[in-house]
Amino acid sequence: MFPFLLLAGFLVTGCTTVRVSKAEQDAEVAALAVQLRSLSPAVDDSEAQRAADAAVRYPLKLAREWHATPPAVVNNVLINAGIHPQGLCFQWADALTEKLLTLNLRTLELHRGVAHLGTPREHSCVVLTAPGQDFTNGVALDAWRNCGCLHWSFVPRDDYPWKEVALIPSYRAELEAAARQLEKDQSKRD
């Protein structure tokens, strides 16, 4: 039965990674930057722009590398079956956190949001707030939902009931180390 469901999933999705034109990406970056700047007058315009650019474009790059196949639940099946390397919600959130950490943000703060914690429906995202701002006033960044095409929304307006969770220090240290490595890899390519 499982092979039949897997085959049906391939046929329904066409096995394609999400494609977003440069113009569509530019429009999303601009719209997200406006939302990030609206968090507080303390948010730096160029920092909001850089964060928005990374949040929109980096997951699309990962979607190609990870062979993400929409819809997300089908992609999860492909990952759990060992067909795709990565792309579970926490992996999208970790990778986006690492990328945003490389930006050395000063006027935006990173948080981890989780919905339905401890249940089979558990889901993770990244939330950006202005410094010292309450998590519930932030913008949720969810790259999993659309397999790399970023979904973003103010936390209280999103479909998921996000709650802030603190990353355990060792896990945060791993993400920061990965961000440093990502930064080194980027500088080698430049």
Q: What is the pLDDT of residue 13?
A: 43
Q: Could you report the per-residue pLDDT of 8-57, keeping only the tens digit for each?
A: 444 444 445 567 899 999 999 999 999 999 999 999 999 999 999 999 99
Q: Output the pTM of the full model.
A: 0.84
Nearest 5 degrees, angle CA 31-CA 36-CA 41?
125
Q: Using CA atoms, how far apart are residues 4 and 17, in angstroms rounded to an integer?
A: 21
DSSP string, 105-134: -SSSEEEEEEESTTSTT-EEEEEEE-TT--
Residues 6+ apart with CB under 8 A from 189: none
Q: Any idea where the domains of the chain sit in the sequence?
A: 21-189
Angle made by CA atoms 152, 114, 78, in degrees to the nearest 5:
80
Rounded distance between C-alpha atoms, residue 93 and residue 87, angstroms: 10
CA-nearest of 68, 60, 102 to 85 is: 68
Report which of residues 4 and 122 the model is more confident about.
122
Indicate the residue type of 27: A
Nearby residues of 62 by Cβ (< 8 Å), 6 or more positions away: 68, 86, 87, 92, 95, 143, 148
Q: In 3-state terms, what secondary structure has residue 151? A: strand
Q: What percentage of the chain exceeds 90 in pLDDT?
A: 66
169 vs 151, more confident: 151
Contacts of 164 (CB under 8 A, 6+ apart): 111, 112, 113, 127, 135
Q: What is the pLDDT, as a whole number, of residue 171?
A: 75
Interval 120-125 mean pLDDT: 94
CB 137 within 8 A of CB 129: yes
At 2 the pLDDT is 47
Q: Break the chain down into helix, strand, coil percent, rounded to 5.
A: 50, 15, 35
Confidence of residue 184 (pLDDT cuts 50, 70, 90): confident
